A and B are shown apart, each in its own frame.
Chain A
Amino acid sequence: MKFFGSGHGACPGCGLPIAVKTVLNVLEGKVFAVNSTGCLEIISSQYGKNAWNVPYIHSLFENAAAVAAGVEAALRAMKRKDEGYVVVFAGDGATADIGIGTLSGAFDRNHDILYICLDNEAYQNTGHQQSGLTPPGESTTTTPAGRVLPGKVGRKKDMISIAVAHGIPYVASSSVGYISDIRRKVKKAVKFEGAKYIQIHSPCVTGWGIDGSLSIKVARLAVETGLYPLVEYEYGKLTSVKKIKDRKPVEEYLKLQRRFRHLFTHERGREMIEVLQKFADENAEKYGLDLRKEE
């Protein structure tokens, strides 16, 4: 049975439908889907062309966590919890920027929900504006590379740590480049009672400026360079990390994408590449990403 698909209008190569299908299949469609405004909602919920074959609600941009809390509370109050899992699908802007208040509230109250942040690193639905999860050096329409500025200056907000700091039972990052990793983590997450957060790196072909056929390759490179570490926390403790055999330099990831193209010509490009490399190195250090000979 298909839980998501027929009629969705995502660009070919988009990571969103891949992630959503994987989550819904793992949970065998026993899902109450709560979606924030964004690309996913626009490509899947047009009136009369609904692509969801699970109960679905979209309310606003910034309130998916609170809406999910309400669905969960209602199911609990009405003794219908066995009907399914309450799962949020929200973009990075909805999660890390405009919706972080309701997200923090839902985490704080530890509602029994699985919150999936589909991280394509900018507001892609409105044409690629920067969000808190846009990495440094990326040229977006609101942080364009110009004569002076080399794209976004500033960090990618560390939502994983923010989620962990709430003391919720399960926090993980994953990637559309690693479907079996998503599958395993979702399966594990729903075993915990309380709030769960999984942030899934999801390529956007138009925003990132990549060929649709390169989505998986690019997503994998983000992991292989250490820019997007795949980690897992249970009750605040780091319990698993996807090790990397020969960590690649970040340039290999950057050079395939139009959003970073200016870094190879811009006056401050080198500097930004170094910032990103440092970011990857810090991740490697923090999580012990590098697979050493003896391991």
Chain B
Amino acid sequence: MAVEFSEKADAEFKELVSRYPNTLAAMLPVLHLAQREFGWISVEVMDYVAERLEVHPTKVLNAATFYTMYNKTPVGKCHVQVCTTLSCAIRGGYELIEHLEEKLGVKLGETREDGAYTLSEAECLASCGTAPMFQVSYSDGEIEYFENLDDQARVNQVIEQLNARLASLPDPRKMH
């Protein structure tokens, strides 16, 4: 199946491009849009973005591989990224990972077999005052921060909230 923006995404694409003096500058926001639309940034998606921006495909490859927010392989419906950089390391980020591994049934750096969760470690997410914390990137493109997670009961509540949301989220592995 060839990738192609929906009508709504196409309108957003045109609006994004209009903000800049050239199409290349729209690269980052357009790759975010493409990831929302197609689940992850495959070579096919990169080629499509290059065609739409009228730039050489290597320019898209260059950007897509430089930035960590673009997934070059499919991740789970909920990509749980735990910050462990400085304040989070000091305030229990690693203990949080151990707890999540047990509760989510997935090891750090892996995606659960049913495609529900990916668990990974993230560099500083600018929530040092509310450490420890994790960010969840949902497969519908939303990002949510969960902060002050030094209490396991609160973490369990958050997991219940994520579990409840799973049914409404698309599976990135099947989005294109």
- Pair from one complex: no
Point out residues on B near A: beta carbons under 8 Å: none
